[in-house]
Amino acid sequence: MTGFDAALKSSECWLELATGERITLPVDRWRATEPSDEMLLAHCSGPTLDIGCGPGRLTSALSVRGIPVLGIDVSAVAVRLTLARGAVALRGDVFDPLPGEGRWHSALLADGNVGIGGDPVRLLRRVRGLVARNGRVLVELDPPGTGLRNHSVRVNGLGTWFPWAWVGADAVDEIALQAGFRSRWVAEGGNRWFTELVPR
């Protein structure tokens, strides 16, 4: 069981940094869509890969709209919750072989998932290989002024430490450039920040 497995079953979840800092995670928001999610959903066209789908709110919302979508997550609990919503999901790591590589029209990195693996450039280079030549990646960011941060973290103070990163809206252009993307737009909605990345 991953730390996120246990977190998804509770109402409290936080990341503990190796520095001792705690960052509360919005688990309630992960479970139900809210208006600001439209900043991501409205830009998904064609087959979409929801990377780190969690309990599947975005995967399900796209499925209801008739958009072919696959959620992936390393958490067995997340996959089970997504399937229970009637959406399609599989358990897996984004760095492992995945269905449809190079053919996805859209990919989602919501809820801070651009931090997966602790190296956003490496992650986005991997996603660059997953989307089609004219594909797009919809990414949720931290607010401007926060830059790029990397830390070892663990969930709820339990389990093993793993690398994670945070990308501020002010840092996304340089990271995108290194990964072979350019930012089409950066915008705020509902006190959340988003960008659309397209291949260069």
- Position 198 scores a pLDDT of 98
What tokens were used for 200?
Answer: 């260069």
The verdict on residue 32 lying in a domain is no
The verdict on residue 79 lying in a domain is yes
Q: Is residue 183 within 8 Å of 197, Cβ to Cβ?
A: yes
Compute the distance between CA of residue 27 and CA of residue 36 in angstroms, rounded to an integer.
15
**Identity of the residue numbered 180:** G
Q: Splitting the chain (200 residues) into consecutive groups of 10 residues, what average pLDDT does each group show?
A: 64 87 85 92 96 97 98 96 97 97 98 97 98 98 97 91 97 98 97 97
The verdict on residue 15 lying in a domain is no
Quote the domain boundaries for residue 128. Answer: 37-147+164-199
- Position 9 scores a pLDDT of 66
Kindly report the CATH number assigned to the domain that includes residue 130. Answer: 3.40.50.150
How far apart, in Å, are the Cα atoms of 88 and each of 3, 57, 83, 85? 23, 12, 6, 9
- Position 158 scores a pLDDT of 84
Split into its structural domains, the chain has a count of 1
- Position 11 scores a pLDDT of 67
Q: Is residue 50 within 8 Å of 113, Cβ to Cβ?
A: no
- Position 27 scores a pLDDT of 77
- Position 1 scores a pLDDT of 46
